Each structure stands twice: as C-alpha cells, then as structure tokens.
C-alpha cells in the first residue's frame, strides 16, 4: 500500500499508537485522532494532556520508540503541528479543547544503547537539526506547555539546562507557556550529582527555566 492509504484508525474509530500514526504520513488523520482524544478527555473534565511525545528515536532498543513520531525530523515536525492543532483546536477556551504538552525536551530518544535514563552525547549540530525541529514546529503552532526530560546532554541534565530552556525555548523561540518537569526529574538532579539536595535541585531547575514540578 502507498503510505497515505494505510489507516491510523480501526473500524471502531480507535487510533493506533503514535509510531503507527506516523507511518501513515496522513496528517489529516493524525490531527483527527488528537481532536477525538481532546473531545473524549474534555467530556470527563480533563483539560491538559502530556502529549504529543516528539522525541526523534532511531534506536529500536529504546522501548519508548512506540510513543515517538519516528526518526525523520521533517515528518515529525508536520505531525507535531497536526497533533497540537487536534488537541488544542482553534481556541483553548473551547470546552472541547485541551492543552497539549510536548515532550521530552530534549534528546530523550538518544539515550545510549536505547537504555532508559542513560546518558546522551550528541553534538549541537545533531541537537539543532535532528532533535529540536519537531519541538520548534509545535511551539510555532502555539503549543501551550512543554515537558522537559530525565536525561542529560553532555553531562548537563536538561531539567537544569538554561541553554535549552532559557536560551533556545524561551529566548530564541519566544515560547511564552510554561515548562513542567517530567516525573521526579527535578528531584533526580540529586541523582545526577549536580544538586546536593532537593532545595538546591528546585532552585537550579527554576533558574534554568523549569516552571512547574
């Protein structure tokens, strides 16, 4: 089958996993899936989702590759725009719209050997041209929130990275929403060895541009 002929939804209207949706190359269908999810979630009083996950993933050993939009930055960028539009609609005040949260900012999918929580060692070139484009596309599409990750890049945990959060995200890209930590990623600054305790970890994350734990 041609890519655009591959369905992302089954007969009951249930949509496949994000990697499967990416394989369709059908942006309209992907947007439709996010729109339906927003309608279903808002019906139960939910107004925020921790999606879409925009980690470029090229190592099949990483278990979370199933959540990703694949390995191509261009396709992932177009999918990011479609999903943000689907979740948030035309106006977040619409009762059927929910706030999207792009994750994991950034480079979580490049963990060495596909091992969860492992170190990430990439160049600024790879960061800019492979990892960040989908996030930039989502920001330009008006995404409301961003989630940082557990990982570090070159020894600096991204939750405490002012380069990523203040210089790039909020500075260069002009993002005006808020940044939320991934589960315990602020507290884990002590595990990374860059903060002595939780008090120092919180101060470090806040100074670097993290807004919410």
Q: Which of 182, 197, 211, 213 is catalytic?
A: 182
**Strand order from edge to edge, sheet including 145-148:** 101-105, 145-148, 178-180
Distances in Å between the Cα of 96 and the Cα atoms of 38, 114, 149, 165, 178 are 6, 37, 28, 30, 21
* Residue pair 117/150 in contact by the 8 Å Cβ criterion: yes
Three-class SS of residue 170?
helix
Q: How many Å apart are CA 23 and CA 37, to the nearest integer?
A: 19
In the residue annotation, 182 being an active-site residue is answered as yes
Q: What is the dihedral of CA 16, 150, 147, 57, to 10 degrees?
A: -40
Of 80, 86, 76, 102, residue with least CA distance to 37: 86
Q: How many Å apart are CA 140 and CA 66, to the nearest integer?
A: 25
Q: State yes or no: cis peptide before 51, omega within 30 of 0.
A: no
Which residues are tagged catalytic?
Answer: 182
């Amino acid at each position: 089958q041609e890519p655009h002929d591959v369905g992302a939804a089954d007969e009951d209207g249930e949509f496949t996993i994000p990697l499967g949706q990416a394989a369709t190359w059908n942006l309209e269908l992907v947007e439709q899936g996010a729109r339906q999810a927003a309608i279903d979630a808002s019906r139960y009083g939910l107004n925020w989702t921790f999606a879409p996950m925009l980690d470029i993933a090229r190592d099949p050993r990483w278990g979370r590759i199933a959540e990703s939009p694949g390995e191509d930055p261009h396709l992932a960028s177009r999918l990011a725009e479609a999903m943000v539009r689907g979740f948030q609609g035309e106006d977040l005040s619409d009762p059927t719209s929910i706030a999207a949260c792009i994750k994991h900012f950034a480079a979580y999918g490049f963990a060495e050997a596909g091992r969860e929580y492992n170190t990430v060692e990439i160049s600024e070139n790879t960061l800019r041209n492979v990892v960040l484009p989908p996030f930039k596309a989502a920001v330009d599409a008006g995404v409301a929130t961003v989630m940082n990750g557990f990982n570090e890049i070159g020894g600096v945990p991204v939750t405490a990275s002012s380069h990523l959060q203040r210089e790039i995200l909020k500075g260069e890209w002009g993002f005006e929403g808020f940044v939320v930590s991934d589960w315990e990623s602020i507290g884990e600054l002590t595990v990374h060895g860059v903060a002595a305790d939780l008090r120092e970890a919180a101060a470090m994350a806040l100074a670097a541009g993290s807004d919410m734990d």
